[in-house]
Structures are given as structure tokens and as C-alpha cells.
Structure 1
Amino acid sequence: MSVVNNDDIFPPLTPDYILAFQFSNWYPSFIRASPKSTIIRPLGKDFKHYLESDSIFVPDGSEDVVVESTISDDDDDDDEYEDTAIVGEHFSFPELDERIRSVIREYKAVFPKLNFSSPKDASWVLPASSPLKCTSPVDVYLLLKSSDFIAHDLSIESVFDGCKIDDLPDYELELVLRKWYPVDHSREVRCFVRNDVLVGYATGISQRDTNFYDFMINPEVQNTIKTTVYNLWQEIVRPNWTFSRKDYIFDFLLTRDLSSGHIIDFNPYAPRTDPLLFAYEELHEVLSRANQGASASRTFLPDLRVIDSLLHPAATRNMPAYQHNRMPIEALTLSEDRNIVEFGEIWQEEVIRAMREKDD
């Protein structure tokens, strides 16, 4: 593979380009092709401060039983272990609580995200049988508070990282509540578009979940997926992508019969977006070849790259997703058969006990 300049591989990053991928900016154009969602804004500085504060706790009043986030004042022996971030701060968002409850009543259950990022790495917080399924405000807050991923959206510097400009635009945090439903990750694909070309004229559609699925190696199945994705891009994505820059990456969830699907998200064509089973240098070479023979290449469907065996190098990721973000096994053991209030109290006691043992 020849060495090429990064400026050739990626479009230049500007604030306007990055903001095109903010949920509230792209969703209105694709509302009929994407899961039903509600955008809540403005959120206020206190909500951002809550997400940035230390420790995992929920705002007062967000559930029927208020979670105490302070150590008992009667226990003088524990004073040295008190964390001022926990003891000194209380948060309450009654209007936001009611707004979230209203959306949940309409959708039955929701999956939250912020402007760009979703808390997929915090799936351990809620039951594994219905991952990321929120049925109350406290579920929403706990997912967001437990996630490392959403930290990207809280800092204007990280949002516009890589943009060569000193004057950053106004940026307002938003909470997105998407209608929750079970997702079969084997039917998720990621598609790359550069200069208004679905790079997959030669290659460029990647299986999104890097587990091995035997049905994906069937040639007929692959051809169906390629046809569906190509038609979706031509008929829905391409004409409705209204931003001036035609460089983007979109994630697509296929229906069970693989004949249609839903647009899940759009991401910038930039190093921050995982190319999955590709390298960006590889995609650049493919695009160059496609441009050189554009008319001929347009007669071909895009290729699909998948995990084609258990021995595939990428299949070594076949382990619990985001395991480095997960809670220690001791916490999982303590949480069994307990509600969030009981778990919070017991986990806090365990932390204090461990700190005492360390000092002894």
C-alpha cells in the first residue's frame, strides 16, 4: 500500500463540518428512515455540571425512592473518607425528569445519547436481558453518568478537536431519547462515503459488530445486503444529505429479511471514526481507482467486508464489548437481586471498607 498524505485521505475538519453530525442537525432530514427520537434542549449548565461531577449518583427526585449520595453525618469515623464532590453537591432536574417520563410514556422505553455520543460502554448498568433499555429518568441518568464515551460531547475542545481555527462556534448540549427496541447486531453495517461516492464501488461496507456470524458468509446474503445498502444510499441518504460537504460515514441496521432498514447514525469521515474492518489508507486507494474508472465502476455493487471465520484476525475482539469500561466483578456480584438504591448503599459501604483496609 503506497504512503499518502493525511490531507488527501481525510477532508479538512472545520466546525461547520463537525456540527453537521450533531444529532439535531442530521436527524430532521432522515426522520422517516431512522428510529423515532426526541431531542431535548437546552439542558442548562447544571446538567452538564452533574455529568462532569465525580462519582455515580442520581439527581434527587428522579426516582420514587431518593438515592442518598452522602455518607451518614452520624458516622464520625468516616469523616476522613468523605468525598467533597459527593457530600457537597446535590442535583435536581424536576422539569427534565417530567420531560423524560413523558417521552417514555410515548415510546414505552428509550435509549439516550448526547449530541454525538451514546453511552454504549455503560450497558453493564442496566439488565443484560434488555441492554440500554431505559424506563425511568434514573435509568437515563445512570447510563450517561457511567459512560466514558459521552465525555467527548461535554467539552467543546474535544468536539472540535482537529479543527484548525481559534474561534470556536457556540455549542449547546442536547439530550436525545431514541425509541428503544432490541437490536440484532449481526445486521449492522458501516458505510463510507467520500466526495459523494459510496467508496464501496470497489469496497467500503463493513460489518459493524466484529463477531463471526455464519449466515454472513453466504454469497446470496452478501449480495442482498450490498443491493439494499446501495439502493438506500442512492434513494434516501444521497438526496437528503443537505450539507455542502459530501464526506460522511453512516451506520445502517438491516431488517430481518435484509430488504430494508434504519439509519442509526452519521459520523464524520475522520480518524475519530473507527473504520472497523478497513484502514482509511485502503479506502483512499479504492476511491482513487474508482475515480479513475468512474463510469465502469458504477456498474458494480459495493463489496461487503465481514468476519468470515472464527480465525479472522478481528474476531479476537469476540469478547464482552467495552469491557475496559465495565464495573469490577465485585460490583456485579453485589448488584445481584438488588435495586439501584440498595446497590448504591452497599457499594458505598464496600468502598469505605476497602479504603480502611488499605490504610491499616
Structure 2
Amino acid sequence: MKSTVIRPLGDDFRRYLLSDGVYIPEGSDNVTTSDDNSDKDEDTDNPEGRFAFPELDAQIRQAITEYEAVFPKLNFSSPKDASWILPSSSPLKCTSPMDVYILLKSSDFITHDVSPENVFDGCLPKTQSTPYELELVLRKWYHVDPSREFRCFVRSGNLIAISQRDANFYEYMNEQKTRDKLLSTIKEFWIREIKQKWPTQDYTFDLILTRSLESAHIVDFNPYAARTDPLLFTYDEVLVIHQQSPQTPVLKMIDSRMHDAAARSSPANVHNMVPFELLSLSSGQTLDHFSKTWEDAIQKSMKDDNSRM
């Protein structure tokens, strides 16, 4: 997937991600505000709540110009748990640095990537001296059909389990001919593109299959570890599958509308949803000013989406 990688991110950006509250760095929006904003003068006594990243802003804007819109992530984690904060018609679609920052700052998931201690917790000791550097990955945004997203589990160099990522029932994906096709495609893609190239024997990876189910795009790699969501499996189940050494990976999908309804009984990542009024902003804007800016940005995004339909 087309991506721009910005690294390393400085300690000031790390401090920004770890600071309390949801702060929007100065200059990160695409709206010009009045220079005589009295609230800015009142806020100068609190420098810890003020952040500005003009160089990073420029790099993000350059990527947005190239891709039209981006989907952000850090080294390993994406802010999918904060997708509710952007328009539901195009979740995680960022068209300004402000969008990128507010997604990252509103996410619990990405805090995993900020500290090397968290990143490598439970992993074998590192055998190389390359330091861990925090990076921002900006991927070209486009609509993805969630029915074609899968997480794959590799243990001792063998592809043993494949889980549907989206917790919805897709009738056409449950036809036996289709299941056989996607199993074959994923296994052949793994053998051809990953098996001999990935340096470890235990890992997970995510794929998006093409519309024809003939090939795939790699989305991400993650550790074969408890902190990587096993989705429709449990790690005990995957261990049993590994011990049985099946010739064909075990595929799990939502196979009935009853399971679909149970899986969707509550919104994903509901614990991360907070009232908009709780957002505190370091850009010097009052809540009223920012609310207007944010509303204008959402309206513009919706108009842009409608114009492309």
C-alpha cells in the first residue's frame, strides 16, 4: 500500500502523545484564525499545554497533496479505536495535519508504540543494536471492503490459522467455493511473498484480498503474542491447531446472522468514546472557536466526498 514514512519523530512529539488531554498543535489546521485571539495570550502561561510541529505539518501536507487523503499509524499500531471522531462516512480519512493529530491523540492503541519497553515486552532479547525509533506512517486512504480483510497466524514457520477481521456476516464469503478460493489465495500468497522473506518463525500478518480474490495486499505484521488480537480465535485454539499440524490453515469466519448480531451488540472500542466537550485544545482556540473550526472541516470533508460520488 502506498505509504510515506516519517522518522524519527522527535522527543517533543513523543511528549505530545503522552501529555494529558487531547491537544491540537498550533498551525495544524487548514483554517486561518485571527491573530488577536485573546485566549492565546491567556494560554501563554501554560507552555506544557502548547505544541507546534511546523516541519511535521509540512511533511503531512505534502503526503496529503500526493495521496489526496491519508490514513495514519505509528510503527505498529493504528488509531482505529478513535475512528468515531471523524465523519462516519469516511472514518480515519485525514485531509489535514489536524485530523492526523486528533486521531493519534484520541487513541489508546497508539500509546503501545511510544515506549520501547511496551513494544518489546514479552519478546526475545534484541540481537541488533539499531535503536527503536518512533515513526509516523501515512498511507494513501481509500475505501476498503471489510469482508476481504483477514488476519493470519504463523507458528514455527507454518501458516496455521486465518481469521476474518470484520465481525459481520457476509453470505457470499461463506459459500464453500469462495472459502476454498480465499484459502488457496492466502496460502499461495504467503508462500510466494512472505514465507522465505520474513526473518522470524512466529508472527501474524494482515491481508486485504483483491476483489477477484486472486491476490492480496499486505496491511501489517504483528507479533505472535497475546497483545495481538486473535479475533475469532483464542490463542489456546491456535495452540491446539499448531499441535495438530494441519496441511491446510484453519479458517474462521462469522458463519451466521446470529453470530453477526452478537458481535455487533455494542460499538467497537466504545470505551474510547468521550464527549466532545472534554477535548482540551492547546492551539489557543476556545472550545467555541475550535467547535466551529471542526464543524467547518467536517462539512468540507462531507462535501468533498459527495462531489466524488
Measured against the shorter chain, the TM-score band is: 0.7 to 0.9
Please say if 1:278 is aligned against 2:233.
yes
List runs of 5+ in structure 2 lacking aligned partners.
280-286, 296-309
Match of 1:327 among 264, 274, 295: 274
In the alignment, structure 1 residue 220 sits paired with structure 2 residue 177:
yes
- Please name the residue that 1:185 is paired with: 146
The corresponding residue for 2:64 is: 104
1:130 aligned onto 2:130: no
- Matched residue, 1:231: 188
Kindly indicate whether the alpha-carbon contact (under 8 Å) linking 2:9 and 2:135 is maintained by their aligned counterparts in 1: yes
Amino acid at match of 1:286: I
Is 2:10 aligned against 1:36? no
2:217 aligns to what SS in structure 1? strand
TM-score (norm 1): 0.71
Alpha carbons of 1:131 and 1:73: their partners in 2 closer, same or farther (altered >3 Å)? closer
Partner of 1:11: none
Q: 2:76 aligns with which of 116, 136, 150?
A: 116
1:151 aligns with 2:106: no
Question: 2:64 & 2:226 partners in 1: Cα distance?
Answer: 35
What is the CA-CA distance between 1:311 and the residue it aligns to? 2.3
> 1:60 Cα shift?
1.0
Cross-structure match for 1:53? 19
2:100 equivalent to 1:140? yes
> Which SS does the other structure have where 1:91 is aligned?
coil
2:94 match: secondary structure: coil
| Deviation of 1:190 (Å) | 0.9
Structure 1 position 56, deviation (Å): 1.4
State the match for 1:22 in structure 2. Answer: none
Q: Distance in 2 between matches of 1:156 and 1:317?
A: 33
Distance 1:194 1:41 in 2: 31
Q: Partner of 2:49: helix, strand, or coil?
A: coil
TM-score, structure 2 normalization: 0.82
1:46-74 Cα distance to aligned partner (Å, 9 max, x none): 11111111221211111233679x99489
Contact 1:67 1:341 in 2 (8 A): no
The separation in 1 between residues aligned to 2:148 and 2:74, in whole angstroms, is: 24
> Which deviates more, 114-123 or 49-58?
49-58
Give the 3-state SS of the residue equivalent to 2:257 in structure 1.
coil
Give the alignment's Cα RMSD to 1 decimal: 3.2
- Partner AA of 1:246 in structure 2: Q
Matched to 1:37, the amino acid is S
Q: Do the aligned residues in 2 keep the contact of 1:59 with 1:92 (CA within 8 Å)?
A: yes
CA contact (8 A) 1:57 1:67 kept: no
Is 1:173–2:134 an aligned residue pair? Answer: yes
* Residue 316 (1) aligns with residue 270 (2): no
Supply the distance in 1 between the matched residues of 2:253 and 2:164 (Cα, whole angstroms). 5
**Residue 328 to residue 59, structure 1, CA distance change in 2 (3 Å):** closer
Contact persistence 1:60–1:66 (CA under 8 A): no
Structure 2 counterpart of 1:356: none
1:210 matches 2:171: no
Shift in alpha-carbon separation, 1:271–1:339, aligned structure 2, 3 A: same
Q: Number of matched residues?
A: 284
Q: Which amino acid aligns with 2:274?
A: M
Structure 2: distance between partners of 1:126 and 1:192: 31
Which residue matches 1:342?
291
Contact 1:65-1:341 within 8 A present in 2 as well: no
- Find the aligned partners of 2:64 and 2:41 in 1 and give their Cα distance: 39
Tell me the equivalent position of 1:305. Answer: 252
Q: 2-side partners of 1:114 and 1:61: how far apart? A: 21
**Secondary structure of the equivalent of 1:266?**
strand
Out of 224-233 and 302-311, give the one that drifted further.
302-311
1:131 Cα shift? 0.8
Task: Name the aligned partner's letter for residue 268 of structure 2.
Answer: A
Q: Give the one of 207, 211, 225 matched to 1:252.
A: 207
Do the aligned partners of 1:71 and 1:87 also contact (CA within 8 Å) in 2?
A: no
| Distance in 1 between residues matched to 2:207 and 2:126, nearest whole Å | 35
Structure showing greater radius of gyration is 1
Confirm or deny: 8 A CA contact 2:148 2:208 kept in the other structure.
yes
CA distance in 1, matches of 2:258, 2:38: 51
Amino acid at match of 2:116: I
Q: After the TM superposition, which of the residue ranges 223-232 and 279-288 deviates more from structure 2?
A: 279-288
